[in-house]
Structure formats: structure tokens, C-alpha cells
């Protein structure tokens, strides 16, 4: 009798932890949704009405872009919550899963630096159609348990993601400025609206993924299958509603890359931004790999889709908080320093909490994602004013090389996620990366102290 009771203790404890995770996840989702709604209303009421563009031709063109782009984003975000879970469900160990992720990083680096060039040469519309085909194949590979096919799928996923975040924007910019001759100032209105709806789509995608994977008998492969109809619809709309466009001011690829590298080496502020970007964002890439095995330790079956939606809500909330810091006159360089400190603290906390306290880890991850949500618009603000406009995309592509390399090396060296020591070591190393990023951010703040282009006076006068 005593043996039976003692045998039931682990399962009872497991049930309690699972229940606690469910309660915390759903409560967090409700609270974060409410906060995002409140902050959105508050920010919207503070905006001036003259930022609205009512030109019917522009609105029609903008909607033709959004119909396609939003479907593509839905397909992209549906695959986020259950990627690691799917590989684990198929029986692959952490070492094998790490290799699959690294292959995705590598394909993104190799193809990401040249995707814009190839799209401009062969046609941006064609590139967007190729995205839908490759990503559909990527999703279909998830139906296979063959390791080689899954690696191929991850490589296709890296290529597809590169196309999603280069070819679509490039097509829009050309059509906006060259075909329709709309004012260039209106571009920011489109991208601001796209950013807002991207946040909403990511949250909805997490809920959909959770529904088909957890509440229906399809398992973790279901979100990937669900993404395919969205990709098919995207391809059909592109084919029948978009015009083709090519080229631009410069179709050369080698010389712009060299010039971009020269700007990184010779400009201390650009170099500092590169160090911060590579180190901070590589830590975030590593987190994308880690969060599922940490919260699903011992097969607790947490609601991964809802948790993913919570993370996306945190990123959205962080964006609203950045707008608040701008209104307070806080320099974005100092905001970046703050986000690095907060993210580093969350990683240090995760070093000690991950083994036995998944609920505590979840709260720390919420804090980490809030820091990310604050970091990205702050860093975007700095990049826009520091990086040379003509070489902006090329410089960002150079930053992606060490970013992906660091993430790949860390995952390959410290990949033992079945051991609490392995996970703790990765979080500790991420804290070290963030500490170095913090030093570079402080240096950037010092270098930018007397730079008139980096003062908030003009933005505050414009009501941003």
C-alpha cells in the first residue's frame, strides 16, 4: 500500500505542476491582452489625426499588399509554437534537434545576404511566389519522421523566411515609389500598420496552433499542415493581383557588400550597433530553441500555443512602452541599455529556476520577451539614424553573420537540454553575451551623446 502511494506521488506532483502552468499561462494571456488593449487605446488617442492617409488609390494599393502579406505572416507564425515539440515528438534527442536548428540558421545566413539581389534580378513577384512554394514544401516535410528530410525542410524554411522579409518589402517599395509614384513619406504609414497587424496575427496564430495541436487529435504537426492553405492562398493572390517588378538603382552584389563592410569597420557607432545586435539577438535566437524544452520538461504538456501568444503580446506591449519612453524624452540608446540589463537578469534567473520550477521560468521568459519588445523598436530607431541609408540593408546582412554563427555554436557546444546543467550553462552563457552587449551599448550611448541626429527633440515635435 505504501509502495502504491509513493508511486502515485510523482504523477500527482506532475499533475499539480501541469495545472499550475495552465492557470498561469491563461491568466497571463488575459492580463497581457488587456494591457495591450489599454496601451494601444492610450497611444492611439495621443496621435494626431493628420497622420491618417485617406487617398483612395493609395488605400486600395495598400490593401492589395496587406491581403497577401498578412496571409504569409499567418503561415509563418503558425509554425513557431510547435517546431521543437514536433521534433521531440518524433523521438529525436536534443543533439539532433540542435543540428536541425543550426541548418536553418546556416541557410538563413547563406541565402539571406543575397535574397534581395536575386529577387531584384529575377523578379520580386516571382520571388514571392517561390516563397510560397518553398515554404509549402517545408511544411510538408514535417509530415515525415526521416531525419534527412526534416533537415531539408529546415533549410527550406531558412530560405523562405529570408524571402519573406526581403522580397515582399522590396516589391512594395518599388510599386509604391516607382509604379504608383506615391509620396515616399507614406511608406512609413504602411509599415507601421503592418507592424501592428503582424503583432495581432502572431497572437492569433498561437491560439490557432494551440487549438489544432492540443484540443484536436492531430498532434504537433497540425499547425504546419494548417499553414499550407494560407501559403496556397498567398501564392494565388500574388499571381493574379500583383504586377512584376525588377531591378532598382544598383543590381551589383559584391561592391555593395564590400562598401557595407567598410562602413562597419570604419564607423565606431556602426560597429557598436553591430556588436549589440549580434550578441543580443543571438541570445534571443538561442532562447527560441530553449523555451519549449524548459517549459515542457518531464512532458508536462503546457499549452505551447497560448504561451507563444503570451510572448508575442509581451513583444507588442514592449513596443507600446517604447512609445512611452519617447514621450518621456528618454534616449533610445539608454533604453537599449535598460533592455539588456533586464534580459540579462531574466537569463540569470533562468539559470537557477529551470530545473524544478517551470512556472517560475515562464514568468522570467515573460520578462525577457518584454525586454525584447522594448529593444527592437529602440534599436530600429538607432539604426535608422546611424546606419547610412544607401547601405542599411547590406550592413544588417553583415550583422546577421556573427548573429547566426554565435547561436549555432552555442547550440552545438551546449545542447544537452535533457540535463538541467546543460540548460543552465546555455542561460549562463547568454547572460555573458548580454553583458558584453551591454558594454557595447554603453559605448554607443557615450559616442552618441553629442550627436544632433540622435536627439529626441524632432520626434517629440512631430508627436511620435
- 3-state helix, strand, coil split of the chain in percent (to 5) is 80, 0, 20
Domain carrying residue 257: 252-449
Q: Is residue 16 part of a domain?
A: no
Cα 441 to Cα 31, 266, 326, 383: the distances in Å are: 32, 18, 18, 13
Give the span between the Cα atoms of 145 and 150, in whole angstroms.
7
Residues 224 and 257 in one domain: no
Neighbours of 196 (CB within 10 A): 14
More confident residue, 88 or 247: 88
Query: What integer pLDDT is reported at residue 11 of this predicted model?
Result: 65
d(CA 296, CA 313): 21
271 & 387 share domain:
yes
What confidence category does residue 124 fall into, taking pLDDT thresholds of 50, 70 and 90?
Answer: very high
H-helix or E-strand spanning residue 58: helix 56-78
Q: Based on the fold, state whether residues 231 and 264 are members of the same structural domain.
A: no
- Whether residue 204 is contained in a domain is answered as yes
- Gap between the Cα atoms of 365 and 46, Å rounded: 30
- Of residues 436 and 456, the one with the higher pLDDT is 436
Q: Closest Cα partner for 76 from 214, 182, 168?
A: 168
Give per-residue pLDDT as tens, 417-441.
555 567 888 899 999 999 999 999 9
Q: Residue 298: left if φ>0, alpha if ψ -120 to 50, beta else—which one?
A: left
List, in order, residues 6 or more apart from 38 with CB less than 8 Å away.
Answer: none
Q: What is the pLDDT of residue 463?
A: 45
The whole-chain average pLDDT of the chain stands at: 86
Among 215, 244, 273, identify where a domain stops: 244
pLDDT category at 415 given cuts 50, 70, 90 is low
Does a structural domain hold residue 133? yes
Rg for the chain, CA atoms, rounded: 22
- pLDDT confidence of 148, banded at 50, 70, 90? very high
pLDDT in tens, 150-208: 999 999 999 999 899 889 998 999 999 889 999 888 888 898 889 889 999 999 999 99
Across residues 2-16, what is the average pLDDT?
54
Domain shared by 236 and 321, yes or no: no
- Pair 94, 184 in one domain: yes
Last-in-domain residue among 212, 244, 276 = 244
Task: Compute the average pLDDT of residues 288-301.
Answer: 82
Is 335 part of a structural domain of the chain? yes
431, 297: one domain: yes
Residues 6+ apart with CB under 8 A from 276: 336, 340, 379, 437, 440, 441, 444
pLDDT band at 457; cut points 50, 70, 90: low
Write the secondary structure of 203-231 as one string of H (helix), E (strand) and C (coil).
Answer: HHHHHHHHHHHHHCCCCCCHHHHHHHHHH
pLDDT score of 28:
95
| Last-in-domain residue among 211, 244, 277 | 244
| pLDDT reported for residue 350 | 87
In a domain, residue 206? The reply is yes
Q: Are residues 260 and 218 in the same domain?
A: no
- Look up residue 179 and give its DSSP letter: I
Q: Helices 222-241 and 124-141, interaxial angle, to 10°?
A: 160
Give φ, ψ of 448 to 5 degrees.
-95, 0
Tell me the average pLDDT across 274-281: 95
Buried b (16+ CB within 10 A) or exposed e, 131-154: bbebbbbbbebbeeeeeeebbbbb
The CA-based diameter of the chain, rounded to the nearest angstrom, is 81
Percent of the chain with pLDDT over 70: 88
Backbone φ and ψ for 267, nearest 5 degrees, come out as -110, 115
Give the number of domains in the chain: 2
The verdict on 237 and 292 lying in the same domain is: no
What is the phi/psi pair of residue 245, to 5°? -145, 155
Q: What is the pLDDT of residue 395?
A: 85
What per-residue confidence (pLDDT) applies to 215?
A: 83
Query: Of 418, 206, 424, nearest to 296 (Cα)?
Result: 418
Most confident of 113-117, 287-291, 364-368: 364-368
Residue with more model confidence, 28 or 464: 28
What pTM, to 2 d.p., does this model score?
0.89
Query: What number of other Cβ atoms are within 10 A of residue 420's Cβ?
Result: 15
Average pLDDT estimate for 130-148:
96
Residue 165 CA to residue 345 CA, distance in Å, equals 31
Q: Using CA atoms, how far apart are residues 429 and 350, in angstroms rounded to an integer?
A: 12
For residues 318 and 400, membership in a common domain is answered with: yes
Q: Which residue has the cell 551591454?
A: 438
Residue 390 has pLDDT above 60, yes or no: yes
Residue bearing the bigger pLDDT, 76 or 44 = 76
What mean pLDDT is predicted for residues 136-156? Answer: 96
At 8, is the pLDDT very low, low, confident or very high (cuts 50, 70, 90)?
very low
- 175 & 258 share domain: no
pLDDT at 260 exceeding the cut of 90: no
Find all residues with CB under 8 Å of 332, minimum gap 6, and list them: 322, 325, 326, 378, 379, 381, 382, 454, 456
CATH code (residue 197)? 1.20.1250.20
Which pLDDT score is estimated for 342? 96
Q: What is the Cβ-side half-sphere exposure of residue 269, based on CA atoms within 13 angstroms?
A: 18
What does the pLDDT read at residue 118? Answer: 83
pLDDT band at 2 (very low <50, low <70, confident <90, very high): very low
Q: Are residues 224 and 322 in the same domain?
A: no
**Who wins on pLDDT, 178 or 453?**
178
Confidence of residue 27 (pLDDT cuts 50, 70, 90): very high
**217 vs 128, residue with greater confidence:** 128
Per-residue pLDDT, 398:
86
Same domain, 276 and 225: no
Picking from 388, 396, 448, the residue whose alpha carbon sits closest to that of residue 166 is 396
In this prediction, residues 116-141 reach a mean pLDDT of 92
Amino acid at each position: 500500500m505504501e509502495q502504491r502511494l509513493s508511486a502515485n506521488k510523482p504523477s500527482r506532483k506532475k499533475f499539480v505542476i501541469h495545472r499550475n502552468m495552465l492557470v498561469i499561462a491563461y491568466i497571463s494571456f488575459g492580463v497581457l491582452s488587456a494591457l495591450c488593449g489599454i496601451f494601444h487605446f492610450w497611444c492611439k488617442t495621443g496621435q494626431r489625426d493628420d497622420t491618417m492617409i485617406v487617398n483612395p488609390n493609395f488605400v486600395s494599393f495598400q490593401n492589395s499588399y496587406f491581403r497577401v502579406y498578412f496571409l504569409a505572416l499567418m503561415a509563418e507564425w503558425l509554425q513557431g509554437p510547435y517546431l521543437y515539440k514536433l521534433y521531440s515528438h518524433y523521438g529525436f534527442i536534443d543533439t539532433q534537434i540542435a543540428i536541425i536548428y543550426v541548418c536553418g540558421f546556416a541557410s538563413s545566413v547563406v541565402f539571406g545576404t543575397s535574397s534581395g539581389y536575386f529577387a531584384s534580378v529575377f523578379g520580386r513577384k516571382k520571388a514571392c511566389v517561390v516563397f510560397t512554394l518553398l515554404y509549402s514544401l517545408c511544411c510538408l516535410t514535417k509530415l515525415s519522421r526521416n531525419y534527412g528530410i526534416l533537415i531539408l525542410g529546415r533549410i527550406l524554411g531558412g530560405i523562405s523566411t529570408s524571402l519573406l522579409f526581403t522580397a515582399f518589402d522590396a516589391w512594395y517599395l518599388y510599386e509604391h515609389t516607382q509604379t504608383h509614384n506615391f509620396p515616399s513619406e507614406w511608406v512609413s504609414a504602411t509599415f507601421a500598420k503592418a507592424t501592428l497587424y503582424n503583432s495581432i496575427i502572431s497572437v492569433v496564430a498561437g491560439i490557432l496552433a494551440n487549438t489544432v495541436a492540443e484540443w484536436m487529435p492531430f498532434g504537433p504537426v497540425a499547425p504546419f499542415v494548417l499553414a499550407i492553405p494560407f501559403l496556397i492562398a498567398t501564392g494565388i493572390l500574388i499571381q493574379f493581383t500583383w504586377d512584376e517588378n525588377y531591378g532598382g538603382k544598383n543590381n551589383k552584389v559584391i561592391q555593395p557588400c564590400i562598401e557595407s563592410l567598410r562602413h562597419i569597420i570604419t564607423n565606431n557607432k556602426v560597429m557598436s550597433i553591430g556588436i549589440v545586435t549580434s550578441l543580443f539577438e543571438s541570445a534571443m535566437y538561442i532562447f527560441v530553441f530553449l523555451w519549449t524544452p524548459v517549459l515542457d520538461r518531464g512532458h508536462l504538456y503546457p499549452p505551447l500555443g497560448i504561451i507563444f501568444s503570451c510572448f508575442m503580446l509581451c513583444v507588442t506591449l514592449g513596443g507600446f512602452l517604447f512609445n512611452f519612453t519617447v514621450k518621456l524624452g528618454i534616449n533610445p540608446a539608454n533604453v537599449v541599455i535598460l533592455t539588456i540589463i533586464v534580459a540579462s537578469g531574466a537569463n540569470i534567473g533562468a539559470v537557477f529556476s529551470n530545473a524544478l520550477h517551470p512556472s517560475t521560468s515562464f514568468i522570467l521568459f515573460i520578462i525577457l520577451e518584454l525586454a525584447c519588445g522594448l529593444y527592437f523598436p529602440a534599436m530600429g530607431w538607432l539604426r535608422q539614424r546611424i546606419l547610412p541609408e544607401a547601405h542599411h540593408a547590406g550592413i544588417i546582412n553583415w550583422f546577421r553573420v556573427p548573429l547566426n554563427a554565435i547561436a549555432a555554436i552555442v547550440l552545438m557546444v551546449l545542447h544537452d537540454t535533457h540535463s538541467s546543467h546543460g540548460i543552465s550553462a546555455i542561460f549562463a552563457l547568454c547572460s555573458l553575451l548580454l553583458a558584453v552587449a551591454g558594454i557595447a551599448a554603453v559605448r554607443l550611448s557615450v559616442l552618441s551623446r553629442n550627436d544632433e541626429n540622435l536627439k529626441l527633440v524632432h520626434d517629440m515635435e512631430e508627436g511620435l
